[in-house]
Amino acid sequence: VEAAAQNSENGNNNKGKGGGGGSASQHAAAEEDPDGETLIKKDPLEEAKTFVAVLANNAPKRISTWILQYDVSIRRKKLLLALKALVKSKALDAGNDELFTRIVDFAQKGSPSEDSHPIVKELMRSETAALLDGKNLLKFVKDARDDMVADVLTP
């Protein structure tokens, strides 16, 4: 898997070289750690960060890339990266259900620390307000619920 990530980062791609995308060296690398002993020693969030970076470079127009970027960033407590992921997601598909749940999650968790720079605090406040369409969290959720009920009741 690491080799695939490195190949993607370096622009190497085995497709179209007669191997169908797989090579003997890739199979040998996969068999070096069949029980995952080496993999289990690695930090999962750091590994996820690496894979999300590859996705962000290679699939920036897929909302799933930015939803995953949000999930990894919020777990790493990287609030500005999480906010960036939500802003990009909303630009791609503002009505996405998974985006809605992430916006609610961020509104609850996304408060900058007291020692954050004032500009960072203001940026997070203004962008969170934009994600919530200028509403408080309760109104944002209530309006979304009302929209869903109206959609269900519309013939």
Average pLDDT of span 107-131:
92
In the predicted structure, residue 68 carries a pLDDT above the cut 60: yes
CATH 1.10.150 fits 46-153, yes or no: no
Q: Does the pTM exceed 0.85? A: no
Question: What's the pLDDT tens digit per position in 40-54?
Answer: 888 888 989 999 999
The band of 26, judged by pLDDT with boundaries at 50, 70 and 90, is low
Output the pLDDT for position 27: 58
Domain boundaries defined on the chain: 1-42, 46-153
**Residue 103, Cβ neighbours under 10 Å: how many?**
25
Can you spell out the DSSP letters for 66-116?
HHHHHHHHHHTT-HHHHHHHHHHHHHH-TT-HHHHHHHHHHHHH-PPPTTS
Output the pLDDT for position 39: 78
